[in-house]
Amino acid sequence: MHKNIYLLLLLVLVIFSCDQLAPKSASEKNEEDPYHKISYHANGKLRTDVHLDSSGRYDGEAKKFYESGQLKSHTTYKHGVIQYAKQYHENGNLEMEFPYKNGKKNGLRKKYWENGKLQSQMTYVNGEPKADLIEYDRSGEKVTTYPDLVIKQIDNIDKTGQYILQAYFSSNPQKGTYYLGELKNGVLETYTTRMAKNGKIGEEIYRPAPGTFFMKKVNIIGKFMTGYGNILIVEKEVNLAFSN
């Protein structure tokens, strides 16, 4: 009799222990605290760990993890508005850090290689990039070679009544976006006029009325996505002078 009771208790203990050691499902969350949500990878390791406010918005720390368990990102929020963000390589080294203001990127953003060396830095102002990008290769050498912003003027007034202004980068022009306007303290502002895209190049077409003379200085801004995934901003001034 005592032997049977002992075996029954042992069986219950084994079942309970297995249940405690079983990995959490990928979708399982912490239901005990409505303001603290946790989810797991299929292998049982932590996937996300976030804090919420009473409206269900991110509030406080929000963390994401690789399947290995290594921290992938660490972001802080205040009632749904992002305050600061860091991302990490799977080896644990810092990959990127972003300062924010009022939910928009604001300040010096830095990116790092897996080996810990600085990959790039550039400044954001109110969510917009500044023309101060600096990049480094994996060995730490500063990158100095970039495509040139090419400005081309085509006078077709006698044939079509059009004067065409074109802008493109000398290599990989499809990675460029082109604007008419001036940088404000080195910043490409949101209301700057974007040039129409003709294939891979930016284009602005002027159609002067008969008997008119047009002369103006125009600033063209090129925004280029570099091979390291950063934004290079270049500004050039061009003198336009034509008549019909």
Confidence (pLDDT) at 10: 47
Name the region of 42 (left: φ>0; alpha: ψ -120 to 50; beta: rest).
alpha
Average pLDDT over residues 178-201: 88
Q: What are the structural domains, with CATH classification, of the chain? A: 24-135 (3.90.930.1), 149-243 (2.60.40)
Mean pLDDT score of the chain, rounded to an integer? Answer: 88
pLDDT > 50? residue 233: yes
- Inform me whether the pLDDT recorded for 228 exceeds 90: yes
- Please check the confidence at residue 111 and state whether its pLDDT lies above 80: yes
Mean pLDDT of all residues in 134-155: 96
- Region 60-76 average pLDDT: 97
Mean pLDDT of 118-126: 96
DSSP string across 36-99: EEEEE-TTSSEEEEEEE-TTS-EEEEEEEE-TTS-EEEEEEEETTEEEEEEEE-TTS-EEEEEE
Residue 236 identity = K
Kindly give the pairing relationship between strand 104-105 and strand 94-101.
antiparallel
State the pLDDT at residue 30.
54
Say what the pLDDT of residue 8 is.
47
Q: Quick one: what percent of the chain has pLDDT higher than 90?
A: 75
Which pTM does this prediction carry?
0.78
Within the chain, where are the H helices? 2-21, 157-160
